Amino acid sequence: MIDFDSTLHWSDTDVAVHKVVVGPYDNNVFVVQCKATGEAAMLDAANEHELLLELCQGLGVRTVLETHGHWDHIQAVPAVRDAGFEVGITAADAEMLPSYDYILEDDTMIEIGDLRLHTITTPGHTPGSICFKLVDKPLLFTGDTLFPGGPGATKWEYSSFDTIIDSIDRRLFQYTPDTIVLPGHGDDTTIGTERPHLDHWVDRGW
Task: Give tens-digit pLDDT for 174-192.
Answer: 999 999 999 999 999 999 9
Distance CA 76, CA 78 (A): 6
Q: Confirm if 89 and 116 have CB atoms less than 8 A apart.
A: no
Task: Give tens-digit pLDDT for 150-178.
Answer: 999 999 999 999 999 999 999 999 999 99
Distance CA 19, CA 52 (A): 10
Mean pLDDT of the chain: 98
- With residues binned 3-state (H G I as helix, E B as strand, rest as coil), the percentages for the chain, rounded to 5, are 25, 35, 40
The percentage of residues in the chain with a pLDDT greater than 90, rounded to a whole number, is: 100
Phi–psi pair at 80, nearest 5 degrees: -70, -35
Q: Identify the burial level of 157 via C-beta atoms within 10 angstroms of its C-beta, where 0-12 means exposed, 13-18 middle and 19 or more buried.
A: exposed
Residue (of 15, 48, 38) closest to 138 by Cα position: 15
Position 1 scores a pLDDT of 87
Q: Confirm if 128 and 95 have CB atoms less than 8 A apart.
A: no
Beta bridge pairs of residue 15: 34
CB proximity list for 159: less than 8 A, separation 6 or greater: 124, 125, 126, 153
Q: For the residues 1-11, what does the mean pLDDT come to?
A: 96
Position 132 scores a pLDDT of 99
Beta bridge pairs of residue 47: none
Task: Give tens-digit pLDDT for 44-80.
Answer: 999 999 999 999 999 999 999 999 999 999 999 999 9
Measured in whole angstroms, the distance separating CA 47 from the mean position of its chain's CA atoms is 14
Distance CA 126, CA 59 (A): 30
Residue 19: pLDDT above 90?
Answer: yes
Task: Give tens-digit pLDDT for 110-150.
Answer: 999 999 999 999 999 999 999 999 999 999 999 999 999 99
Domains of the chain: 4-204 (3.60.15.10)
Band (pLDDT 50/70/90 cuts) for residue 206 is very high
Distance CA 20, CA 195 (A): 27
